[in-house]
């Protein structure tokens, strides 16, 4: 047990920093003279007190985190932070006489921090602005991973960050250091994130969004989260210009932020199109969007320009795991919504703010499959798996295969749990797929024109677990369940 004290100390630090993040909605509530403003100081005080007790109580256990500590801490953070994030939601909604249980509030908080974009709330347009600011700000914090930010800050407090970075970073290729120190890497990634955020917010404002709307939708666009302050989602604005701006930033955020970081450091863009994952990601997204538009036109769903507008935006929005909607795409030919949901699993890069399996894993799987087919014809052939000019070693290939096996088993198991509750198969399977991909809307009764409020508490907890597993990329969490992990 004493071995976990350093983890609890760092968790305390993170809770104190998270309490500071609550000052954002508190400031909005106070400036707007909202009747619910008092719930925020209470939430800040509660979170800061718990964090402070852990931090100071465990302060004598200061030491560098080991890899095992990093996995435990990341898993703890993604369970504990939503507890704190749900507190202002639950208190504020109860004060407004909106019936909401702890299950609903925790689901909403997990959805925000994991950038899933699933919601259980109705009447978003009538909610106090601070609640929507908090919901969307949670997605911005979760976009690159709260722990990446912590890696940049914690060394100043005496805690090294490399173990946290490895456990939290998205995708299979995350051991390559972009700078000699992980702290500098994390700061650089957040620098890129900040630049995109400022540019996106200003672009939305210039495109006609009111300042607070621009801020909230910036939070959920660059994070590929997709929550909105309106029940109608992005359709509320009915603006081709704003949709085009959102498209640009969704495409940018779906690519590996490390490429932007390296380009800024070296002052050149040559590495962009040399990266096979980036080429594949952009190609699949644009190709999928144009194919969707073509199909909508050929099926006489829309006129050509409307088919291009609605097809490209909604396909790319779902494929990037953002989940903004400008139409109810469940009314489209059934092939398209299914294609969009499947694309949400593969059409973002490792190191991006998106969810899902990640494009690099699919590239490795396809190249490994081609190598196996070659061996069937030429058993003695030596054909390494390459990504660009780099040779992918067998350890990474086995890691990808293991991930895919666990991913498939997780989706099937959780879907079966929902089916046990008599949920219809389409809703059950797509709710789990959308949750594991951190995408939000599924099909059936959790489609873009509905939300997750119709699920029972048990069904919500299953989807909550799916979102957490998807955010942790499954294996990090599964490692906690193996007996060997807990042996010294």
- Does residue 189 carry a pLDDT above 70? yes
- pLDDT at res. 63: 65
Specify the pLDDT at position 56.
Answer: 85
- Note whether 254 and 354 are within 8 A (CB): yes
Q: What is the pLDDT of residue 187?
A: 78
Element holding 182 (H helix, E strand)? helix 182-206
pLDDT in tens, 51-85: 999 988 877 766 666 667 777 888 888 899 999 99
Residue 430 pLDDT: 95
Mean predicted lDDT score pLDDT of the chain: 87
Q: Is 321 annotated as a binding residue?
A: yes
| More reliable by pLDDT, 155 or 125 | 125
Backbone angles phi, psi at 427, to 5 degrees: -65, -45
Picking from 345, 307, 354, the residue whose alpha carbon sits closest to that of residue 329 is 307
Is 17 part of any known ligand binding site? no
Q: Among 110-119, 181-190, 218-227, which is the least confidently predicted range?
A: 181-190
CB 272 within 8 A of CB 243: no
Confidence at residue 10, expressed as pLDDT on a 0 to 100 scale:
86
Query: For 395-423, what is the mean pLDDT?
Result: 92
224 in a labelled binding site:
yes
Q: 162 vs 17, 166, 396, CA distance in Å?
A: 19, 6, 20
Average pLDDT, stretch 431-447?
A: 92
Name which of 90, 91, 92 is nearest 106 in CA terms.
90
CA 430 – CA 435 distance, rounded (Å): 8
Q: Which residue has the higher pLDDT, 429 or 351?
A: 429
Q: Say if residue 330 is exposed, middle or buried (CB neighbours under 10 Å; 0-12, 13-18, 19+).
A: middle
State mean pLDDT over 323-342. Answer: 94
Which stretch of 119-128, 334-343, 386-395, 472-481 has the lowest confidence by average pLDDT? 472-481
pLDDT, tens digit, 9 for 90 and up, residues 454-478: 999 999 999 999 999 998 878 677 7
**Residues linked to residue 386 through DSSP beta bridges, in sequence order:** 391
Helix count (H) and strand count (E) of the chain?
21, 2
**How far is the C-alpha of 85 from the C-alpha of 113, rounded, in Å?**
9
> What does the pLDDT read at residue 171?
60
Residue 469 neighbours by CB under 8 Å, 6+ apart: 410, 436, 477
C-alpha span between 86 and 81 (Å, rounded): 9
How far apart (Å, rounded) are the C-alpha atoms in residues 168 and 170? 6
Smallest CA-to-CA distance from 170 within 474, 383, 483, 485 is with 474
Whether 13 has a binding-site annotation, put simply, is: no
Reply yes or no on whether the pLDDT at 437 is more than 50. yes
Is the confidence at residue 150, as pLDDT, over 60? no
Residues contacting 257, CB < 8 A, separation 6+:
144, 189, 192, 193, 351, 352, 353
Q: What pLDDT, on a 0 to 100 scale, did the predictor assign at position 70?
A: 74
pLDDT grade for 488, boundaries at 50, 70 and 90: low
pLDDT at 226 over 50: yes
What confidence score (pLDDT) does residue 177 get? 53
For range 362-374, the mean pLDDT: 90
Average pLDDT value for residue range 416-439: 95
Residue 413 annotated as part of some ligand binding site: no
- Greater confidence (72 vs 235) lies with 235
pLDDT-based confidence at residue 326 (cuts at 50, 70, 90): very high
Q: Which of 106-115, 236-245, 253-262 has the lowest mean pLDDT?
A: 253-262
Check residue 374 and give its pLDDT.
86
Q: Which pLDDT value is given to residue 3?
A: 66
What mean pLDDT is predicted for residues 389-395? 82
The yes-or-no verdict on residue 146 having pLDDT over 70 is: no
Token readout for 76 is 């703890």
Average pLDDT over residues 377-389: 81
* Helix/strand/coil for 379: coil
Q: What is the pLDDT of residue 160?
A: 43
Residue 439, annotated as binding a ligand: yes
pTM for the model stands at 0.90
**In the prediction, which pLDDT does 182 show?**
65
Amino acid 1: pLDDT: 57
Report DSSP state, residue 393: P
Phi and psi angles of residue 381, each rounded to the nearest 5 degrees, phi first: -65, 140
If 0-12 CB within 10 Å is exposed, 13-18 middle and 19+ buried, where does residue 307 land? Answer: buried
Residue 159, pLDDT score: 40
Looking at residue 42, what is its pLDDT? 96
pLDDT for res 262: 80
Helices (H), 275-393: 276-298, 304-319, 335-343, 359-377
**Which one is predicted more confidently, 319 or 186?**
319
Structure tokens that stand for 488 in this block = 């010294």
CB atoms within 10 A of CB 245: 24
Confidence of residue 167 (pLDDT cuts 50, 70, 90): low
Report the interhelical angle of 67-95 vs 457-471 (nearest 10°). 140
Whole-number pLDDT of residue 180: 53
């Amino acid at each position: 047990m004493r071995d976990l004290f350093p983890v609890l100390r760092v968790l305390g630090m993170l809770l104190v920093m998270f309490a500071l993040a609550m000052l954002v909605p508190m400031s909005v509530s106070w400036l707007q003279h909202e009747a619910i403003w008092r719930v925020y100081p209470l939430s800040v005080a509660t979170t800061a007190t718990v964090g402070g007790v852990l931090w100071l109580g465990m302060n004598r256990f200061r030491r560098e985190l080991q890899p095992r500590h990093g996995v435990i801490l990341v898993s703890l953070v993604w369970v504990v932070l939503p507890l704190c994030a749900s507190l202002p939601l639950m208190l504020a909604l109860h004060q407004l006489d909106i019936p909401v249980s702890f299950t609903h509030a925790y689901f909403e908080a997990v959805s925000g921090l994991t950038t899933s974009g699933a919601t259980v709330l109705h009447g978003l347009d009538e909610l106090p602005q601070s609640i929507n600011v908090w919901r969307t700000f949670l997605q911005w914090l979760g976009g690159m991973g709260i722990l990446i930010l912590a890696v940049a800050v914690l060394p100043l407090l005496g805690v090294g960050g490399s173990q946290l970075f490895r456990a939290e970073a998205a995708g299979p290729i995350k051991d390559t250091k972009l700078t000699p120190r992980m702290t500098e890497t994390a700061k650089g990634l957040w620098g890129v994130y900040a630049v995109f955020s400022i540019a996106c917010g200003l672009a939305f404002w210039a495109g006609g969004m009111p300042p607070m709307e621009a801020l909230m939708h910036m939070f959920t666009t660059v994070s590929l989260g997709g929550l909105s302050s309106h029940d109608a989602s992005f359709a509320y604005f009915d603006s081709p210009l704003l949709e085009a701006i959102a498209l640009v930033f969704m495409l940018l955020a779906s690519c590996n932020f490390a490429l932007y970081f390296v380009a800024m450091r070296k002052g050149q863009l040559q590495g962009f199109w040399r990266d096979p994952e980036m080429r594949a990601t952009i190609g699949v997204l644009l190709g999928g969007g144009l194919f969707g538009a073509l199909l909508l036109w050929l099926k006489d769903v829309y006129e050509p320009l409307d088919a291009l507008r609605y097809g490209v935006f909604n396909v790319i929005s779902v494929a990037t795991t953002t989940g903004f909607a400008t139409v109810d795409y469940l009314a489209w030919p059934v092939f398209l919504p299914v294609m969009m949901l499947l694309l949400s699993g593969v059409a973002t890069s490792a190191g991006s703010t998106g969810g899902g399996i990640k494009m690099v894993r699919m590239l490795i799987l396809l190249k490994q499959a081609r190598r196996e087919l070659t061996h069937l014809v030429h058993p003695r052939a030596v054909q390494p798996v390459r990504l660009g000019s780099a040779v992918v070693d067998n350890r990474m290939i086995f890691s990808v295969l293991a991930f895919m096996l666990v991913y498939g088993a997780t989706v099937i198991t959780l879907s079966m749990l929902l089916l046990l509750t008599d949920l219809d198969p389409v809703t059950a399977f797509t709710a789990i797929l959308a949750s594991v991909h951190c995408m939000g809307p599924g099909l059936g009764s959790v489609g873009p024109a509905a939300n997750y409020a119709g699920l029972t508490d048990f069904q919500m907890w299953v989807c909550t677990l799916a979102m957490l597993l998807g955010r942790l990329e499954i294996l990090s969490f599964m490692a906690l369940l193996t007996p060997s992990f807990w042996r010294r």
